[in-house]
Structure 1
Amino acid sequence: MSDHTPPPGASDGPEPSGPPERGGAPERDMLAKAPSGSAGTSAASPGTGTGTARPGAIAGPPKIPAYAQAGGPQYPADPWQRPGPRPQPSALSKLRPAGPAVISAATLCCVAATAVLSALLLGDGLGVNALIVAVPAALGAFFAARTARRRLRPWTAFWALGGLALLAVPALRDAGWPVFLAVVSAIALGSLALHGSRSWLGVFLGSLGLLCAIADGLAWGGRGVRARMDGSQKRLGGVVRSAGVAVVLLVVFGALFASADAAFADVLGSLMPDVSVSDSPWRLLLFMTGLIGALAAGYAAAAPVRWDGITVRPGKARGRLEWALPLIVLNLLFAVFVAVQLTVLLGGYDKVMAETDLSYSAYARQGFWQLLWATVLTLLVIALALRWAPRGRSGDRTLVRAVLGALCLLTLTVVASALRRMDLYVDAYGLTRLRISVAAVELWLGVVILLIVAAGFFGARLLPRAVAASAAIGVLAFGLVSPDGLIAEQNVQRYRADHSIDIDYLRGLSADAVPALDALPEPLRSCALRDIEQSLNENDTAWYATSWGEARARDILRERSPHATAEACDPSRTGVGGGGRGGDESDPYDPY
């Protein structure tokens, strides 16, 4: 039976001139006048339940059910569907664009290279291998972004280059704590480069955005591999055979050349990673980490989450008096503190210590931590004040700039006072890792306050990214200046001035401190370097996991190996601890 029906308004025959007769005469006339070749030659349509049509009779068009007619009752497509609201899309799906295209071959190759290099190189520690592994991952993200037709913007290039620069810290420094900060900051900058956020919340969430792309990246990579496996078995087989032949040739001829020349065997052994069966689970974990990370980076580059789409509504604007009065009182308190600090600076610390009955070191220790927290809380006050600041009129903006600008300038004086206290602190007790770390944090908080002041003059559009960039630059500078080297150098200079040094603390530093500790006289030199040399001898790592600081320390220790005995390293002979200028004899060692 044909499904064709005549168009609306079409007629199979002339219209009857008179009114229709009873008894169904019009229907008989229409059937009699219809051409024999018309559609619908059977007397009954499916589902009508009628019998066989009479010879020569033509059936009418099939009857349309009521629920399918226009304006008729509508039924759900699924009769088992429960009534209720449809599930709403997640917030993440609203911020992420449509799914990316199939992963490209270039991105797949970069992902595979990242996974293999992670398994081969990262198992022995961090050095230049961190940068070697990051390069193919960055290239894979670049190819994925280019396939998605994303443009390279200046801030994206800045974040990407900054992340790669931070990975130079493991290649230069042996100390683990600045290396850890550098690696974490590099991952955060890489995530920012992929997402391109600019607001406060966007910059914060964008630095963690790679975590949201892990599951989607794995699914994206799996779909791409399946799509390329379909219909490409012959080509894949050729690639596998070619790779197998290349591996066999390398093994055979490499073994022959290594057995023929000892120098070549030594070079080949230093270049090849040391992979054993016992390390297989650890290598497999590193392989999966590199694979997942590279896929997440590629997926984020192809379909980044627009974290700037999350908007935070501004707080309710307060009246001028309600908003400004607490801040003006706080400014007056800051001004009184600054005046006292200027009096102390002009009158001298000796007069203050005589009046307050405090030692030199106690006065320094008493104030730094409080001033550090005062700086942090001031930034919190500024953030809350901007949220509830009066706005709308030019006078309101002038009031906000005047009050908060004065608070920022006074806070800078507090930062300077805190750094001066730390200088006195270090002069009394020497430099340690904790002291140099908190001093660096205080210095960075001062930079943030300067950026806030600049935003009051030039606008706050770039402020979130400027603060993030200042943090990244600070971490990079902190790693490049070698904190352990600075600690050792300052303590050596302090020993030359007052013959007081804490050998027990210095011997726990990393290999970065060896050049400075090598300048100590014997037996202090051997006492300080003995543990470091023992640690280096126990950890004979490959070239790709060896930093420049460790290699330099090995060269120094190879020329002059420590030879001090246990008696020579006795604390009573080496002058362990001891206060410096104005030190407190009852407290020879300060835990901070």
Structure 2
Amino acid sequence: MASPLTRLASLKVKLGALVGISVLVSATVATLGATHGVSRWLVIPVAVAISLILTQLLAAGMIAPLREMTEAARRMARGDYSARIDAQGRDEVATLARAFTTMAADLKDVDQQRRDLVATVSHELRTPAAALRAVLENMADGVTPADEAGLRSVLAQAERLSDLLADLLALSRIDAGLAPLRTRSVDVAGLLADAGCEITLSGREVPVRVEVVPPDLHVAAEPMRLRQAITNLLDNAARHSPPGSEVRVTARLASLDGDRDSVDGQGHSSPRLWTIDIEDDGPGIRAEDRQRIFDRFGTAAAGGTGLGLAITRWVAEIHGGRVDALDPRPGHTGARLRLTLPVEPHVRTVTALPSPSTPSPPTVPDHRPPAPASPSNSITGPGATMSFPSTRPTPPLPAPYPAGSIPLGPGRTPPPAMDSAFGSLWPEVDVPGRPRLLLAALAVGLLAAVILPFRDQGVGTTLVLLAGGATLAAAARRRSWLTAVCGVLGIALALIPMLRAAGWLIPLTLLAGAVTVVIGVTPARSLTALIGSALAWPLAGLRGLPWLGRMLSTSRRTRAWWPVIRTAAVSLAVLVVFGALFASADAVVAHWVDLLVPDLSIDTAILRGFVFCACFGIVLAGCYLAINPIMDASLTLPAGRVARHAWEWLVPAALVIATYAVFIAAQVTAWLAGHEYVERTTGVTYAEYARQGFGQLTVATVLTILLVGVVARHASRAAEGDRVLLRAVLGLLGVLTLVVIASAMWRMNLYQQAYGFTTLRVVVDAFEIWVGLVVLMVLLAGISLQGKWIPRAAALTGVGIVLGLGLMNPEAWVANRNVDRFERLGDYALDVAYLGGLSDDAIPAITERLAGQARTCTLAQYAARTHRSDDALEWNLGRSRARTALANLGVSVPDLQATSPACGAFDDATR
């Protein structure tokens, strides 16, 4: 996905624009939320999320070339030069990426040429060396006499080796730029005659016929190099000529043929040219091979070293000319090579052979096919290094990845930058884009934006929770019995907002639902993995930004969805236009529209926008967590160091046991001695004494559970005696912890009997019950010394307690207990203000259990709050039952509000 900032030509400008736009958008979103009464707990995460998503969209592809280059550099270090960088834009990074791609291509060519060079040279050296060795071995063994013929055979093989090494040395000097051009006047006819005689004396049984026009043609050239080039051409022609044929050499001024084209590599005009045509009657050269034969080892497959024509081309180029393979003359089938040179060449200051990426002048269209990778084939470019470290073919270096598995370049998305941020803790493992989940999350966010604002909890809240849970269930990659159990618990938790009117139950329900989702969609089993996976849900909004970017990028699937989106947009526009027309034309239609369409004024639209962003982000982050969860092994602590001596863990555990014993002794003393002993020795009432230590006991209980985990982690289990000792100590700690939990609940009961019951105290009791169940699990695990199942079981037990708390109707239970206390102790034991402040869930119990002025004043406190009617999406069982209870009494909320002033004296009497 290309960045919208691609057109900017500077990376600094891009970063400045990115920061500026992100800050501006975040500030705008925060200001809109603050000025329209949106809670800061909704404004801050939405502003941060929008800023991060905007940054992801704007910075898409900005640093992707850097990541690609890093990956490509690692592969190049291992010998794989196939990486190509997809660079868009004009900034410094894009320029560097294009240069890197060019460098990688050049290195790939050079590496391939090096391998082909070593392989070909090894092949060429092996033949004369093997023949020379065979002849010498035969002479040494007496098989072949060491006569003149044998020695000449040895000399021929040695000369062949010498010629090959001389050619290699010449090309190495060419590559190193150590071959300056020193021109002087050369007699062409004499030069060609000497070259022809050299060919004849070398043993070639092919006559050379020379024709020079004009006969006294003199040119400026370096004699030795020019003779070397002509000799190479003649040797090539003589080698391929059949017996009885001849090699024809024709030299003439090119101006006689009307050819005045410039051939000077420096761009200077060269009006006078001369040519040498060498023709033979051999098999000829195929049209597709006519450029390849001038490459190094380009004719090796046909015999010879394959270096002579490469040297000839280099000689022509440093003189400012060229060498070409032409079509044979009419009536002939052999090869026809032409050397075209200026009569007076310019002295070139750079004499090294050009690299493959820089075509040498003059420009010659190159229609050569790519060279095969076989070691016996020729090199495809003139820029290979001529030094070779070994005479054996170099095997290809192994690539770090299988061929074609990671084609770094335009066809592959670079590794996300988030990988470096999250490291190996949370890698992306097979995370394909799933646009349907994106659309489902958008639908949940839209549903929440329409239903939730300006409505109390009820049917609408349950619908949003069920829709979000269904989306998360569809995203989950895990399917097991535990997933089904979590699904049932999630559905039951989603019903609580519809069943209960108590607002404080909603946060507990959402927290329990989040725990249920984490257990159901992630493989986390250990305590640290569960905690890490729970924390990973909000972090998934950051970790999943590359995933979101891939889904938003243009792809075939996105293009397939575009007609659906376009049709939906057009349909919505048509519905809005015609709906507005008919609503303005008919009052009944307008009433129906008011019921179905939410208020979209500027104030409500902003709040709905924040709700949409929050719910959409939460669901989409949960989907990413379900698709790509953190693996349990990434967060599970490694095995602890086993204590060498039992006393290392036994002494701390014994001290804790001793403190428990002292505390339990004090509790037994206070229980047996009674209230008077407590008041006499401590100076506080028994109720205050009970209240004083409840929080500390809760903390001590949690710390004891942690201590049990530490001891079980480090204690040795090698011998049977070690296991027995560990079971005894952990069992004793567990039993003592249960005693402390019972003491804490007893203290809470005493406090409630003295000061009344509240919903907070009910929640605390539920928490203590859950801690007690966890301790029982620890005791059960101590039997087998296997407790990996405890974290998930404890979490699901906590979810079950929250569910049970919601289903038991805690506020009605609190109201009933306070009424029992009022009936037992009298008027002063009734807290009218607190009972009247309870939610609608408590109203049926109040109307049934209280009577007279106590009921009237309690209901008056309830009626003092704001009340309004519910629509269909706001229906709630608790509020419905409260209205039914008031209707059965024959009173209304306005009637109760009218009695509120007369209840002042009663409220004072009951405080």
* TM-score tier (shorter): 0.7 to 0.9
Kept after mapping to 2: 8 A contact 1:217/1:292: no
Asked if residue 576 in structure 1 is aligned to residue 889 in structure 2, the reply is no
Equivalent of 2:746 in 420, 423, 435? 420
Mapped to 1, the partners of 2:424 and 2:581 lie a distance apart of: 53
User: Which among 654, 659, 683 is matched to residue 328 of structure 1?
Assistant: 654
Decide which of 503, 508, 511 is 1:176's aligned counterpart. Answer: 503
CA distance, structure 1, for counterparts of residue 314 and residue 717 of structure 2: 73
- Rg larger in structure: 2
CA distance in 1, matches of 2:842, 2:760: 16
Q: Structure 2: how far apart are the matches of 1:41 and 1:128?
A: 84
- Cα gap change, 1:301/1:87 in structure 2, threshold over 3 Å: closer, same or farther? closer
Q: In 1, Cα distance between the equivalents of 2:602 and 2:623?
A: 31
8 A contact 2:679–2:686 mirrored in 1:
no
Deviation at 1:273, TM superposition (A): 4.2
Over 3 Å counting, the alpha-carbon distance change for 1:68 and 1:93 in structure 2 is farther
Matches within 5 A, 1:57-456: 57=337, 61=379, 62-66=381-385, 89-105=420-436, 107-124=437-454, 125-145=456-476, 150-225=477-552, 226-227=554-555, 228-230=557-559, 233-234=562-563, 236-242=565-571, 244=573, 259=588, 273-318=598-643, 319-339=645-665, 341-342=667-668, 347=672, 349=674, 352-353=677-678, 356=681, 359-456=685-782
CA distance 1:218–1:317, shift in 2 (3 Å): closer
- Measure, in 2, the Cα distance between the counterparts of 1:468 and 1:286: 29
Contact kept? 1:127, 1:546, Cα under 8 Å = yes
Moved more, 462-471 or 221-230: 221-230
Please tell me the residue identity of whatever aligns with 1:317. Answer: V
The secondary structure found in structure 2 opposite 1:167 is helix
Cα 1:211/1:505, change in 2 over 3 Å: same
- Pick one of 507, 528, 531 that aligns with 2:858: 528
Within 2, Cα distance between the matches of 1:396 and 1:98?
Answer: 42
Q: CA deviation at 1:534?
A: 3.5
Output the CA distance in 2 between the equivalents of 1:546 and 1:294. 24
The higher relative CO (CA closer than 8 Å, separation ≥ 6) is in: 1
1:543 partnered with 2:862: no
Counterparts of 1:369 and 1:143, CA distance in 2: 42
Distance 1:506 1:460, change over 3 A: same
Aligned-partner residue type, residue 324 of structure 1: L
Q: By how many angstroms is 1:456 displaced?
A: 1.0
Is contact 1:323–1:390 with CA below 8 Å preserved after alignment? no
Change (3 A) 1:372 1:136: closer
Q: Which segment is superposed worse, 48-57 or 457-466? A: 48-57
Partner of residue 33 from structure 1, selected from 236, 239, 246: 239
Q: Distance in 2 between matches of 1:58 and 1:162?
A: 89
SS in structure 2 at match of 1:100: coil
- Matches of 1:237 and 1:370, distance apart in 2: 62
Amino acid of the structure 1 residue aligned with 2:806: G
Q: Give the secondary structure class of the aligned counterpart of 1:37.
A: coil
Quote the Cα distance in structure 1 between the aligned partners of 2:442 and 2:594: 24
Letter in 2 for 1:135: L
Cα distance, 1:88 vs structure 2? 8.6
* Alpha-carbon contact 2:469-2:490 (below 8 Å) kept: no
Q: TM-score, normalised by structure 1?
A: 0.80
For each residue in 1:440-460, what CA deviation from the matched residue of structure 2 results, as whole angstroms up to 9, or x when unmatched? 222221111111111112420
2:902 is paired with a residue whose SS is: coil
- Whether the 8 Å CA contact 1:191–1:206 is kept in 2: the answer is yes
Distance (Å, rounded) in 1 between the aligned partners of 2:386 and 2:816: 89
C-alpha displacement of 1:237: 3.6
Deviations 1:118-155 (A, max 9, x none): 1101112432323312333333334434xxxx340222
| C-alpha separation in 2, matches of 1:294 and 1:330 | 45
Q: Which amino acid aligns with 1:485?
A: A
Gaps of 5+ in 1: 75-85, 578-592
Counterpart of 2:39 in structure 1 is none
**Cα displacement string for residues 503-540 of structure 1 (whole angstroms, at most 9, x for unaligned residues):** 12222222222112223222221221223224242x44
**Paired letter, 2:746:** R
Q: Distance in 2 between matches of 1:54 and 1:362?
A: 110
The 1:305/1:530 distance shift into structure 2, 3 A limit, reads same
Q: 1:492 offset after TM fit, Å?
A: 1.0
Paired residues, what number? Answer: 550
The structure-2 alpha-carbon separation of the partners of 1:563 and 1:98, relative to structure 1 and needing over 3 Å to count, comes to closer
When residues 360 and 108 of structure 1 are mapped into structure 2, their CA distance, relative to the original with a 3 A threshold, is closer
Q: Which whole-Å CA distance do the structure 2 matches of 1:54 and 1:249 have between them?
A: 77
* Cα shift at 1:251: 7.1
Q: Is residue 495–residue 501 contact of structure 1 (8 Å, CA) maintained in 2?
A: yes
Distance 1:448 1:278 in 2: 48
In the other structure, the counterpart of 2:816 is 489
Report % sequence identity. Answer: 29
**Partner Cα distance (1:122, 1:136) in 2:** 13
Distance 1:524 1:376, change over 3 A: same
Secondary structure of the structure 2 residue equivalent to 1:402: helix
Q: After TM superposition, give the deviation of residue 420 of structure 1 in Å.
A: 1.4
**In structure 1, C-alpha distance between the alignment counterparts of 2:872 and 2:803, rounded to whole Å:** 23
Match of 1:52 in 2: 322
Distance across 2 between alignment mates of 1:47 and 1:553: 102
Q: What is the CA-CA distance between 1:546 and the residue it aligns to?
A: 4.0
- Deviation string 1:73-99 (CA, Å, 9 cap, x unpaired) is x9xxxxxxxxxxx99945445533424
SS of the aligned residue for 1:53 comes to strand
Distance in 2 of aligned mates of 1:490 and 1:511:
17
Match of 2:807 in 1: 480
- 2:891 maps to which of 555, 560, 579: 560
Aligned-residue Cα RMSD (Å) equals: 3.9
CA distances 1:23-70 after superposition (whole Å, capped 9, x unpaired)? 887866456425532632455599884432277359985445239988
Match of 1:569, SS state, is helix
Maintained 8 Å contact 2:518/2:533: yes
Superposition deviation, residue 330 in structure 1: 3.1
**Secondary structure of 2:830 counterpart:** coil
Q: 1:405 to 1:289 in 2, by over 3 A?
A: same
C-alpha separation in 2, matches of 1:233 and 1:503: 61
* CA contact 2:500–2:877 (8 Å) conserved in 1: yes
CA distance in 2 between counterparts of 1:231 and 1:437 reads: 52
CA distance 1:238–1:512, change in 2 (3 Å): closer
Relative to structure 1, the CA distance from residue 376 to residue 297 in structure 2 (aligned partners, 3 Å threshold; closer, same or farther) is closer
Q: How far apart in 2 are the matches of 1:576 and 1:536?
A: 25
- Give, in whole Å, the separation in 2 of the partners of 1:201 and 1:207: 10
Q: CA deviation at 1:324?
A: 1.4
